[in-house]
Amino acid sequence: MSKQTLEVGATIIISKPELNNLLKNLSDLDYELAGPQVKDHTVVLGPIESLAELPKGYTSQEEPGKYTLISTGKENYFDVTSGPQTWKKYFFPPRTQLMIFQQDPDKSPTWSMVSPVEELRRYALIGVRPCDLAGIQIQDKIFLADNNCDPIYRDRREGAFILAVNCTEPCGTCFCTSMGTGPKAEEGFDLALTEGKDHFLIEIGSEVGINILLDLDWKAADVKHQKAAEAALQAAREKINLNLPQPDNLETELLSNLEHPQWDDVAGRCLSCGSCTQVCPTCFCWDSTDKTLLPGDKIIRYRSWDSCFNPDYSYVSHGNTRPNTRSRYRQWLTHKFASWYEQYGSSGCVGCGRCITWCPGEINHLEEIAAIREGEPS
């Protein structure tokens, strides 16, 4: 074991089998490990314990409306890009209890309200792509705002460990370079890996990350390995073909073209299914529902993911404010790429490309944006 000192910002190197010991250290500290794994011909996120459960030797071929998982036979664990699931489910669960209403049997019809008690869970997220890491940081702005902090998100987010993985094999629908979110993770991680042929380079991002590495068999990364990693990342940048020119200008260009005929064109192809919002790492629409338990003396209020593509989502007392697919698609696209800037100081898109890959209508949203940008302001 090297006698050199570990410090935040340093880069070390470990053999690939040594990553198992890193995972064991996290488990010993009572983290629940979650990572990518192959299931049902795609990559999903779920509980893991060792390297053996990661998608070794896989990559994916992706284009609008199409996803194909391919076995390469290689020894790499992180060549395949993310599937339809995102890490937001660990901090912003698809369905969770908000509160419980209980009738007092001795003081009927008196009711009491209590907040459900959830067991505190500390997650270690293994293999977070840089674009998804950016997605987590965007959701932090939404759910951890000083004046409107979400306790469910906060309790799950605090103490979470993030092991990021720099992306050297982007897929065909990635455009992270346009959004400044990849293929290299720059901040917000505890440790960040870059995978080599028989080793991992690890950049240390936090004191917690240092503690996880202390008893591992590591050595300082030399210039040769660091240059090889940078060359792999540069090659990844050059593989990304999709491009969103000047995304910072979109706010004005989209909001000044609300009557462009392209909105009608894309509405004829959009199914209003909400798939793009469900696979998005930053979308946060939700609804609350009450479930009455028999014999009627207990009611549980749940929060569940929703979508601005759901016709009921925009229904209010006097009618539906977005009654058709055109208005719902326009709301989603202009919010994600335009009005999000005013709310949160950034785009709501991280360039992961999931909304393109998992659209059953095979809609490439970058092409729709390009067509709208060509129009004259309305």
Three-state secondary structure string covering the chain? CCCCCCCCCCEEEEECCHHHHHHHHHHHCCCEEEEEEEECCEEEEEECCCHHHCCCCEEEEEECCEEEEEECCCCCCCCCCCCCCCCHHHHCCCEEEEEEEEECCCCCCCEEEECCCCCCCCEEEEEECHHHHHHHHHHHHHHCCCCCCCHHHHHHHCCCEEEEECCCCCCCCCCHHHHCCCCCCCCCCCEEEEECCCEEEEEECCHHHHHHHCCCCCEECCHHHHHHHHHHHHHHHHHCCCCCCCHHHHHHHHHCCCCCCHHHHHHCCCCCCCHHHHHCCCCCCEEEEEEEECCCCEEEEEEEECCCCCHHHHEECCEECCCCHHHHHHHHHHHHHHHHHHHHCCCCCCCCCHHHHCCCCCCCHHHHHHHHHCCCCC
Tell me which residue has tokens 């993911």.
Answer: 305
Q: Which two tokens stand for residue 131?
A: 């674009």
Res 107: pLDDT: 73
Q: Is the pLDDT score of 248 beyond 90? A: no
At 209-225, the pLDDT tens digits run 999 999 999 999 999 99
Q: Point out which residues pair with 161 in neighbouring strands.
A: 124
Q: Is the pLDDT score of 82 beyond 90? A: no
* Cα–Cα distance for residue pair 265/8, rounded to 1 Å: 51
Res 378: pLDDT: 40
Q: Name which residue leads in pLDDT, 163 or 107.
A: 163
At 109-118, the pLDDT tens digits run 788 888 888 7
Res 27: pLDDT: 97
At 27-46, the pLDDT tens digits run 999 999 999 999 999 999 99
Q: Name which residue leads in pLDDT, 2 or 302.
A: 302
* Cα–Cα distance for residue pair 377/138, rounded to 1 Å: 30
Res 377: pLDDT: 44
Res 104: pLDDT: 82
Q: At 374, is the pLDDT very low, low, confident or very high (cuts 50, 70, 90)?
A: confident
Stretch 187-192: mean pLDDT: 97
Q: Is the pLDDT score of 376 beyond 60? A: no
Res 19: pLDDT: 97
* Cα–Cα distance for residue pair 349/340, rounded to 1 Å: 9
Res 289: pLDDT: 95
Q: Is the pLDDT score of 3 beyond 60? A: no
Q: At 119, is the pLDDT very low, low, confident or very high (cuts 50, 70, 90)?
A: confident
Res 70: pLDDT: 94
At 226-244, the pLDDT tens digits run 999 999 999 999 999 999 9
Res 375: pLDDT: 66
Are 48 and 42 in contact by the 8 Å Cβ rule? The answer is no
